[in-house]
Structure 1
């Protein structure tokens, strides 16, 4: 078993050693034709791009509207990057698991509110409050 298969098993949660390698990636191969190596590269690219946007957003922190947009899109990229590794269906199942349901609802709601406050209402204080709640829900 190669390192990529072990990484995928640890991320997806497959622990059975007698499970054939072809069925390990079966849940993610139905929707896209990327190879496992391409998925890891896509995961890394999205994660790096998301983290870069979040870090660069602090440069424009004095302009809360631009900060909120850059930070929120970077956050969405970073969180969504795991869909390349485990597949979008499994990620959504995990996000809407009863244990994580409240945190997911608050996170998605705060992402939407931060963008609404930043782009339509143009209220700096409400935008920053929504960003802080977004971060708290993400860590929860």
Structure 2
């Protein structure tokens, strides 16, 4: 899995090593581990971008430290506790991409949800939400990394 960053490859390995039912459980656990927003965003939700492809309300913002391909990316998500699948998708992206370089984030293939084996467990509409999150993360990184 050399075309995905190591942290994301490890998540893919974890998901594909278990049954479909266990994948759902793993997804929910990652959602529970999603970090809370720092105050600078919690107090200013208008700074976050909505992801309308998601069935549940989710918002995200990236921070890019530095310029160019080696700039470091930080990811922040806001998803309600009553949207555990959406929180799980955000948890996957946070754990798999947070702290990577801009080049590494931009190189992540768009079929991450399929590689996780989630197509067997989650509706196509929900999978489109995860693709929407990744697309917005990449667009923000492109804009901010220069």
- Identify, as 1 or 2, the structure richer in strand: 2
Instruction: Decide which structure has the larger Cα Rg and report it.
Output: 1
Q: Which has the higher contact order (CA 8 A, sep 6+)?
A: 2
- Identify, as 1 or 2, the structure richer in helix: 1
